[in-house]
């Protein structure tokens, strides 16, 4: 029982901390402490005219990821799901309030924000998890 409560607490705290940190940094950027851009498109400003598509894709992906996490609750699946949902919620809030996402971290040819980094980290962790599962299955079949 205690382990489940810790997992539930982590499932709430990770997205809340990510969203709070991201919005605090966005507030500092808007106040002029560092430069930012308002991204009306998908990640890296791709397809600005279909921003509403990102909300749909995020919601659908979150439902699929949440079902996966609930089917096999492990610390890694919990972290993956929490980072993805927390980052997506924070960016969705930006889209609803500002009409776009405030990006403030320079990254090569574009800017991103802490929520984007959380989403990217969750996708890398999900890929890592899937590669390890495939490797374990291929070893066990050998």
Q: List the pLDDT tens digit at each of the 142 positions of the chain.
A: 456 677 777 777 888 899 999 999 999 999 999 999 998 776 655 555 555 666 666 667 667 766 766 666 778 888 888 898 889 889 888 888 888 899 999 988 788 999 999 999 998 998 888 777 665 554 444 4
Q: What is the DSSP annotation of 84-99?
A: HHHHHHHHHHHHHHHS
pTM, whole model, 2 decimals? Answer: 0.77
Phi first, then psi, for residue 124 (nearest 5°) are -65, -45
Q: Which two tokens stand for residue 128?
A: 């890592």
């Amino acid at each position: 029982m205690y382990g489940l409560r810790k997992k539930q607490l982590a499932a709430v705290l990770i997205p809340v901390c990510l969203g709070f940190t991201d919005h605090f940094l966005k507030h500092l950027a808007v106040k002029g402490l560092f430069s930012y851009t308002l991204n009306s498109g998908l990640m890296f400003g791709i397809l600005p005219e279909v921003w509403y598509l990102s909300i749909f894709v995020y919601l659908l992906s979150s439902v699929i990821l949440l079902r996966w996490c609930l089917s096999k609750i492990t610390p890694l699946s919990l972290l993956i799901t929490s980072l993805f949902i927390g980052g997506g919620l924070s960016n969705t809030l930006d889209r609803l309030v500002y009409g776009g996402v405030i990006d403030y971290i320079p990254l090569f040819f574009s800017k991103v924000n802490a929520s984007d980094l959380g989403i990217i980290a969750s996708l890398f962790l999900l890929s890592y998890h899937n590669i390890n599962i495939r490797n374990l299955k291929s070893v066990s079949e050998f």
